[in-house]
């Protein structure tokens, strides 16, 4: 119980910092809030829904794959299987980041809830990794607690983005009009570099 309690502030901090990295729908959120003209409460609501979709989709994916992971662990040495699963997941996350960087992000249009769900539907890689690791160790409840804390942290960062956008709407619109393409290109490059490094890290363990 003490361990789970200690994981809450850690998860919140990880989530808040993790959400500052490229991705997580920040540019989409800022663009939507700036262009929609909605007030602060609704904008924060959209940010919260985006964070929830981003984290919950990772939790659902991990839980859905739990039976397969259990069979893998049963058929091999537990420590070796855990390491292999973790390394494999790192490589898969890296491949996803690399493909996303190559293909680029699609622009999303629509009302707040639809935009939030569409932008957040891609599972959070860190939450997915934590859930798979927790399940592989036989402590899924720890993964769920960490995921919930991550959701709060990511929500705080995205809510801050929404709030700042509302308070400085005119400046945000002007900035995105001038530098939106550069911001997107920089995010794609960072995604690509991070993805390539994660693939190397994951594959190196099997060589």
pTM value surpassing 0.75 = no
Task: Give the span between the Cα atoms of 119 and 25, in whole angstroms.
Answer: 6
Instruction: Give the pLDDT score at 138.
Output: 81
Handedness of CA 137, 142, 148, 149 (dihedral sign): negative
DSSP state of 121: -
Instruction: Give the pLDDT score at 108.
Output: 46
Most confident of 66-75, 135-144, 158-167: 158-167
Q: Do residues 108 and 27 touch, judged by C-beta distance below 8 A?
A: no
Q: How far apart are the first and last CA of the chain?
A: 39
pLDDT band at 149 (very low <50, low <70, confident <90, very high): very high
The residue that leads in pLDDT, 73 or 191, is: 191
CA distances from 14 to 61, 126, 181 (A): 20, 9, 28
The pLDDT tens digits of the residues spanning 34-44 come to 766 678 898 89
The distance from CA 182 to its chain's CA centroid, rounded to whole angstroms, is: 22
């Amino acid at each position: 119980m003490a361990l789970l309690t200690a994981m809450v502030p850690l998860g919140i901090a990880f989530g808040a910092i993790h959400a500052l990295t490229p991705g997580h729908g920040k540019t989409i959120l800022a663009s939507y809030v700036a262009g929609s003209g909605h007030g602060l409460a609704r904008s924060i609501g959209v940010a919260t829904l985006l964070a929830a979709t981003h984290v919950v989709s990772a939790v659902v994916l991990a839980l859905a794959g739990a039976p397969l992971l259990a069979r893998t662990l049963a058929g091999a040495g537990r420590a070796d299987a855990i390491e292999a699963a973790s390394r494999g997941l790192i490589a898969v996350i890296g491949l996803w980041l690399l493909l996303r960087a190559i293909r680029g992000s699609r622009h999303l249009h629509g009302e707040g809830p639809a935009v939030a769900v569409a932008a957040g539907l891609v599972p959070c890689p860190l939450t997915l990794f934590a859930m798979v690791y927790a399940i592989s160790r036989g402590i899924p409840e720890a993964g769920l607690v960490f995921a919930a804390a991550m959701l709060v942290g990511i929500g705080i960062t995205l809510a801050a983005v929404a709030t700042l956008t509302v308070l400085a709407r005119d400046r945000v619109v002007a900035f995105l009009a001038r530098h939106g393409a550069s911001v997107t290109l920089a995010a794609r490059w960072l995604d690509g570099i991070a993805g390539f490094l994660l693939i190397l890290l994951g594959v190196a363990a099997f060589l």
